[in-house]
Chains A and B, each alone.
Chain A
Amino acid sequence: AQTVTQSQPEMSVQEAETVTLSCTYDTSESDYYLFWYKQPPSRQMILVIRQEAYKQQNATENRFSVNFQKAAKSFSLKISDSQLGDAAMYFCAYRSVIQGAQKLVFGQGTRLTINP
C-alpha cells in the first residue's frame, strides 16, 4: 500500500518570503499522480497543484511550484512571495493510475502560518 509522509507538522514564514513544505511517499508503482491540497479554516479542500509522475518537468501554478524527485520519492511545495491568504493546512496526496484505485492517499498535513 502507498503511504505519504509530511514530516513538518507546522511551518511559519514572513509575509512576502518563500517557504518550502516537504512530502515523501512510498510506492512500488512507476506511474502515478501527486497533488498538493490547501485547507483553510473554512475546511474546504482546494487543489493547489498536480504533478504527473511520467513528466520530468516540475509543475508550476503562479506562486506555487513543486520540486519532484522521482527517484527519491520526494514532492515538495514551494510558495513564493507568501501572502496572508496562504495560511492554511497543506496536504500532500498520492493517487494511483491503476483502474479501481482512484482514491487519494493523504499525508498528515502541515499547518502553515504567515507572519505579517
Chain B
Amino acid sequence: DAGVIQSPRHEVTEMGQEVTLRCKPISGHNSLFWYRQTMMRGLELLIYFNNNVPIDDSGMPEDRFSAKMPNASFSTLKIQPSEPRDSAVYFCASSLRSGGTYEQYFGPGTRLTVT
C-alpha cells in the first residue's frame, strides 16, 4: 500500500497568497484527519471527515481556513489569505472506521512557510 500521500512536501509562500494542501488517504479508509504541528501548540486537530462528510471542524482556526473532501480518495486544505502565523507542518491521516482501534495512519506532512 502506498500509504497516505500529501503534496506538496514543502511550500513557501508570501503573506496574502492562497495555499492549497492536498491529501490522498489510504485506499479503503473512510475517515480522514487534518492536523497541524507547531512548536507553540504542538499537534492539534483541525478537521476530520467520515465518509467524506465533515464531522468536527472545531479546530479550524478561522474563516481563512477551509477543507473539502469531494470524494473518498482526495481532500484539500486551503488557506486564503495566508499569514506568517500559519507556518507549520500540516499532517493528513486516515483510518478505517470499523470495529477495532481505528488506528490513524499519517502522511509525511507538508511544511508550510509563510513569509
Residues of A whose CB lies within 8 Å of any CB of B are: 33, 37, 42-47, 50, 52, 91, 95, 100-109
Contacts and interface: CB of A to CB of B under 8 A. Distances in A.
Contacts, number: 53
Interface stretch (B18-26, B41-49, B76-84): B41-49
A43 B89 contact: yes
A105 B111 CA distance: 21
26 contacts: A33-B102, A37-B106, A43-B108, A43-B109, A43-B111, A44-B108, A44-B109, A45-B106, A46-B106, A47-B105, A50-B101, A91-B43, A95-B102, A101-B56, A102-B33, A102-B48, A102-B55, A102-B95, A102-B102, A103-B56, A103-B59, A104-B33, A104-B43, A105-B45, A106-B43, A109-B42
A50 B56 contact: no
Contacts of A106: 42-44
A106 B59 CA distance: 14
Contact of B42 (A45, A47, A102, A108): A108
Contacts of A44: 106, 108-109
